[in-house]
């Protein structure tokens, strides 16, 4: 009997040993390409049980993901070209030597796992200093002033400068070593300097107002897919108050809008049917009038690839550059219904080019960018609009802002306030929040048939921007926390 008991005990030990070995082997099969999220990042999930469209929430699930980025980056999270249940973020990664780098990660916001897709650039010291690593031929003490991401977040247009009016603009691309220097040299600091990517991400300009290139107001446009940056022979030289500057010879160009009777207030690139870029500009006139101007290549000329280069290339020294006439179309029209808003709040939607803009803080207008098309007032909203996004389906995402005062205080206050920015009137949610002292916002979905809106999400705070992915029916709301623009929190709504 004792012998039988010992034999059973040995078999039990063998079974336990096999079980432990199986557990170890299973643990060793975990995918190595996935990494746990950073200690500073956090992912949370909120399930919405009642999905009745008439209820407060008409979304299936709500997720949130927090991380650290740089405050110079206005948008750091992206749905475009991201996988299922994934978002792409630009986040700071600390290194063992105490330095940091800005990297791109694709994050599974459900569980907090991520893949690091690549590095944009490193910082000379810690990331809070915002000092770029020194590159050959570039001044060392450069602090980052602004970072503009491409629509999918794979490219960054970085503006940096120093106290002695030195400016540098370069384009960083994931998977490409180094950077593409677009502008380098002395330049005016207090000016309307703004860049823009085309919505399809194929084109970019670092200067929609033409303030850095030359005295002709040229807006240089570059092919984002270019990789053969070349050497100094690809640059054109210029002067600013006696100092030399250089900029990369553009693939396309336009002329900045505005003249003695009107002042350029905002501009950006847009897509055209030919695939070539277009430039849409907005100018302020006397009183509260605002005009829209468009420049674009006719389809035949776009395929011919004609380009006029201004100034002198450094390769030719004193020889004039080869000049070929640049042929483009020009259209202009006044914006009806604009009632002296202190900023321009607009969106371009659709392949044919529909312009949506706020005439006042309650009224949304729509006009076709074709000068021959008519205008129509879309709707008057019951609350002050903080931000909006037109969808391809004709629906509208609208974020209403909650302010300390009553709505009546804002209804006629546009003419009583100074412009948000006299040089750059482009509206950003962060600027609007501070301008109107917005405390929070509620997100609504308005159907295309003109009926009332459905509440999607309440109490959005410290809002920076939103994006919608029609394929997966997801809404991304980017916010910041603790009054710190570097501490980001993304809210993902799955419809």
3-state secondary structure the chain: CHHHHHHHHHHHHHHHHHHHHHHHHHHCCCCCCCECCCCCCEEEEEECCCCCCCCCCCCCEEEEEEEECCCCECCCEECCCCCCCEEEEEEEEECCCCCEEEEEEEEECCCCEEEEEEEEEEECCCHHHCEECCCCCCCCCCEEEEEEECCCCCEEEEEEECCCCEEEEEEEECCCCCCEEEEEEECCCCCCCCCEECCCCCEEECCCCCCCCCCCCEEEEEECCCCCCCCHHHEEEEEECCEEEEEECCCEEEECCCECCEEEEEEEEEECCCCCEEEEEEEECCCCCEEEEEEECCHHHHHHCCCCCCCEECCCCCCCCCCCCCCCEEEEEECCCCCCCCCECEEEECCCCEEEEECCCCEEEEEECCCCCCEEEEEECCCCEEEEEECCCCCEEEEEEECCCCCHHHHCCHHHCCCCCCCCCECCHHHHHHHHCCCEEEEEEECCCCCCCEEEEEEECCEEEEEEECCCCEEEEEEEECCEEEEEEEEEEEC
Residue 48: predicted pLDDT: 54
Q: 172-179: long-range contacts at Cβ-Cβ below 8 A with a sequence spacing of 24 or more?
A: 172/120, 172/121, 173/224, 174/104, 174/117, 174/118, 174/119, 174/120, 175/118, 176/227, 178/135, 179/121, 179/135
In this prediction, residue 485 carries a pLDDT of 94
Of 202, 132, 201, 119, the C-alpha closest to 167 is: 132
Dist CA 312 CA 290 (whole Å): 36
CA distance 151 to 200: 7
Please give the Cα distance from 353 to 430 (Å, whole number): 26
Using alpha carbons only, give the angle 66, 462, 338 rounded to the nearest 5 degrees: 135
pLDDT at residue 351 in the model: 66
CB atoms within 10 A of CB 432: 21
The pLDDT of residue 408: 46
Q: What was the pLDDT predicted at 312?
A: 37
CA dist 71 and 147 (Å) reads 9
Query: Quick one: pLDDT at residue 231?
Result: 65
Q: Tens of pLDDT along the chain (495 residues)?
A: 333 334 344 444 444 444 444 444 444 433 333 333 444 566 776 655 444 444 444 789 999 999 999 999 989 999 998 989 999 999 999 877 777 889 999 999 999 999 999 999 887 543 343 344 444 444 456 778 889 999 999 999 999 887 777 888 999 999 888 889 899 887 766 677 899 999 999 999 999 998 887 667 889 999 999 887 766 668 888 776 667 788 899 999 999 998 877 889 899 999 988 888 999 999 988 767 899 999 988 765 554 444 433 333 334 434 344 434 556 788 888 888 888 788 899 999 876 678 999 999 999 999 888 756 666 778 999 999 999 999 988 899 999 999 876 554 554 444 445 555 556 778 899 999 998 999 999 999 999 988 899 999 999 999 999 999 999 999 999 999 999 999 999 999 998
**Residue 223: CB atoms within 10 Å:** 13
């Amino acid at each position: 009997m004792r012998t039988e008991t010992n034999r059973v005990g040995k078999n039990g030990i063998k079974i336990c040993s096999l079980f432990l070995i199986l557990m170890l082997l299973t643990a060793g099969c975990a995918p190595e390409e996935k990494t746990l999220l950073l200690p500073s990042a956090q992912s949370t999930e909120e399930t919405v049980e009642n999905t009745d469209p008439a209820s407060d929430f008409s979304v299936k699930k709500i997720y949130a993901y927090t991380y650290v980025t740089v405050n110079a980056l206005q948008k750091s999270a992206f749905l475009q070209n991201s996988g299922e249940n994934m978002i792409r973020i630009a986040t700071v990664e600390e290194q063992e030597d105490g330095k940091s780098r800005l990297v791109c990660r694709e994050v599974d916001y459900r569980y907090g796992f991520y893949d690091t897709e690549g590095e944009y650039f490193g910082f000379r010291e810690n990331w809070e200093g915002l000092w770029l690593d020194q590159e050959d031929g570039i001044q060392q003490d450069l602090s980052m002033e602004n970072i503009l991401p491409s629509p999918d977040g794979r490219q960054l247009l970085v503006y940096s400068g120093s106290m002695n009016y030195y400016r540098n603009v370069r384009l960083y691309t994931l998977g490409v070593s180094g950077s593409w220097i677009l502008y380098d040299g002395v330049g005016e600091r207090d000016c309307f300097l703004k860049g823009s990517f085309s919505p399809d991400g194929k084109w970019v300009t670092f200067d929609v107002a033409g303030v850095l290139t030359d005295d002709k107001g040229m807006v240089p446009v570059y092919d984002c897919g270019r990789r053969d940056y070349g050497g100094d022979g690809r640059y054109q030289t210029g002067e600013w108050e006696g100092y030399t500057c250089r900029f990369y010879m553009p693939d396309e160009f336009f002329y900045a809008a505005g003249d003695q009777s009107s002042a350029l207030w905002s501009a950006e690139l847009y897509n055209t049917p030919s695939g070539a870029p277009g430039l849409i500009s907005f100018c302020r006139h006397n009183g509260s009038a605002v005009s829209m101007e468009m420049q674009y290549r006719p389809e035949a000329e776009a395929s011919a690839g004609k380009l006029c280069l201004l100034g002198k290339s450094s390769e030719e020294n004193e020889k004039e550059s080869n000049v070929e006439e640049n042929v483009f179309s020009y259209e202009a029209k006044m914006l009806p219904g604009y009632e002296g808003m202190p900023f321009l709040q607009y969106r371009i939607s659709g392949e044919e080019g529909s312009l949506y803009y706020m005439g006042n803080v309650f009224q949304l207008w729509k006009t076709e960018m074709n000068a021959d098309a008519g205008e129509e007032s879309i709707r008057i909203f019951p609350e002050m609009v903080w931000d909006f996004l037109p969808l391809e389906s004709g629906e509208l995402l609208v974020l209403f802002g909650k302010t300390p005062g009553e709505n009546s205080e804002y209804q006629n206050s546009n003419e009583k306030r100074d412009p948000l920015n006299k040089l750059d009137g482009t509206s950003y949610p962060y600027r609007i929040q501070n301008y109107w002292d917005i405390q929070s916002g509620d997100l609504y979905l308005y159907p295309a048939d003109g009926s009332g809106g459905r509440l999607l999400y309440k109490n959005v705070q410290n809002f920076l921007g939103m994006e919608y992915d029609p394929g997966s029916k997801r809404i991304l709301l980017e916010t910041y926390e603790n009054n710190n623009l570097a501490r980001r929190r993304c809210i993902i709504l799955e419809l």
